Every structure is written in structure tokens, then in C-alpha cells.
Amino acid sequence: MLRARRVPRKVVANRSSDGRTRTPVTSPESLTFRSDVTVELVKSSASDADVLFAARVSTAGEQSLDELKKDPERSKGLINYLMRDRHGSPFEHNSMTFFISAPIFVFREFMRHRVGWSYNEESGRYRELEPVFYVPGADRKLVQEGRPGKYVFVEGTPAQHEAVSGALRESYEQSYTAYQKMLADGVAREVARAALPVGLYSSMYATCNARSLMHFLGLRTQHELAKVPSFPQREIEMVGEKMEAEWAKLMPLTYAAFNANGRVAP
């Protein structure tokens, strides 16, 4: 798997027709290629106890606060009941904030999820974007077989992987060179960025609660326990898998109930 590597920028002079040197333009050798994604849990306020006190207020009123002092393990049956019968609101009284670095095309799919999510993304208007681009790794299935709505992805041949890698790298070099040239010519960042492809890496903070995350995972991961099958694009599934691993550690009883009930968000 290709991983991020910081490479010092090499620059070449950009000369105008009158021979005068302008601001340097980044050369293709300075591009970084990745096939992974970054997901970091930067802060959280999330536990199984959050589900319990929220649920019990309906019958216990202010006495529901006692749940904060109890071992949630004693009430895992209630969590399973809420999940099974889809009483969803108690799963919203928590928060998780993730830092994510992934290709722009992943974020375009990610931000289709609006309910229970908040986003702030790196801006191409306010900063010069780094030359970090996505190239599929050797384990990425490349070939789609079957008719629309009923297809599978299968392994590509070594020749296909080489063709994809070569074509993408060449395209990225051309687009980033064009981007840098426009910046060197004094063009605004918000205009110059139009030359950049969706394979460029971006970064964002994404904040959610357990209920909105479960809905995301139900659609963006493929899992043998899922009652409703999903067929996500592999790159966003990679993000989902990393987020799921962090959430499972924070709310193990809720996570177990999610899996036990077919991975359907309540």
C-alpha cells in the first residue's frame, strides 16, 4: 500500500516570453502518491451510559441521572432492545470528531450524509493545495463485471494496474503543473484550483453521533452481518472501517447491538 511521504518540493523556473523569471513552478518530481486514507479520532464524548440515561428519562425522569454512576454492562439488554425496535434518539446524545485525509472524490460521497453530521474542509480558496494524489494500490479491484444494479468488481491484471497507475500519475503531473503555472502568473487560487482533479487529497473534520455514524456505516461498508446489503466504493469504505474501529472502542455495547441487529441504524 502506498502511504503518504513528505517530499521537499523541487522547483523549476517559469520564464515569460521576454525572458524574465517568474515565481518558481513545482516540478512533477515533487508529487506524492498515496493509496491509503487517514482517520484520527481527535475528540469524543461518547459512551454506552449516554444511551442509557437518555432512554430512561422517559420512565424515570431526573432519576435517570443515576445511570451515569452505574455499570452499563448491567443494562446491555436495554441497549439491544432500543436497537432492535429502532428507538433511535437515545443514540444521538454523544459526539465524535474525526480528522480525515482522503481523495476529494471520497469527500463528495461522504458529504451526501447531512443529518447528524458537521463538516469543515480544507479550502482551495484560502491556501495553496499540496501535490498529494490518489493512485489505487495493488489490492484495489479494477474491473466491473455484470449489468447495472447487479455487478461485482474483480481483480485487475498487472497490465491494467500499470496502465491505471501510469495514466493517473501523468494526468496528476499535468494538472498540478498547470495549477502552479497559473499561481505563478498571478491567478487567484480559487480560479487556478479548477485544474486539479478529484484524485487530489483533501482534509476535513467530521463530527457525528452514534446514530448518524451507524447510518453511514450501514451504507458505506460491506459486512457479512448486514441485514441490508450495501455495495460502497472501496475508498470510502476504507474511511468507514477506520471510523468504525474507533467507535467500537468508545461504545462497545452499542456496537455489539448494532452488529447483532443486522447493522441497521435505529
121 is in an annotated binding site: yes
Residue 120 labelled as part of a binding site: no
Nearest to 179 by CA among 39, 27, 19: 27
The verdict on whether residue 35 carries a ligand-binding annotation is no
Residue 165 marked as a ligand binder: no
| Catalytic annotation, pick one of 34, 56, 220, 263 | 220
Per the annotation, does 80 bind a ligand? no
Question: Is 223 among the annotated ligand-binding positions?
Answer: no
215 among annotated binding-site residues: yes
- Is the CB of residue 242 less than 8 Å from the CB of residue 37? yes
Residue 246 annotated as binding?
A: no
109 annotated to a ligand binding site:
yes
User: Is position 127 annotated in a ligand binding site?
Assistant: no
123 is in an annotated binding site: yes
Is 209 annotated among the ligand-binding residues? Answer: yes
Residues sharing a CB contact under 8 Å with residue 160, sequence separation 6 or more, in sequence order: 142, 143
- Does 202 count as an annotated binding residue? no
- What are 229's three cell numbers? 446489503
For the record, the C-alpha cell of 172 comes out as: 496528476
- Residue 122 among known ligand-binding residues: yes
Is 226 labeled as ligand-binding? no
Label the pairing between strands 201-208 and 117-121.
Answer: antiparallel
Nearest to 33 by CA among 130, 155, 150, 122: 130
Does the annotation count 9 as an active-site position? no
**What are the catalytic residues?**
220
**Which residue positions form the known binding site?**
89, 109-114, 121-125, 193, 209-211, 215, 220
**Which residue positions form the known binding site for dUMP?**
109-112, 121-125, 193, 220
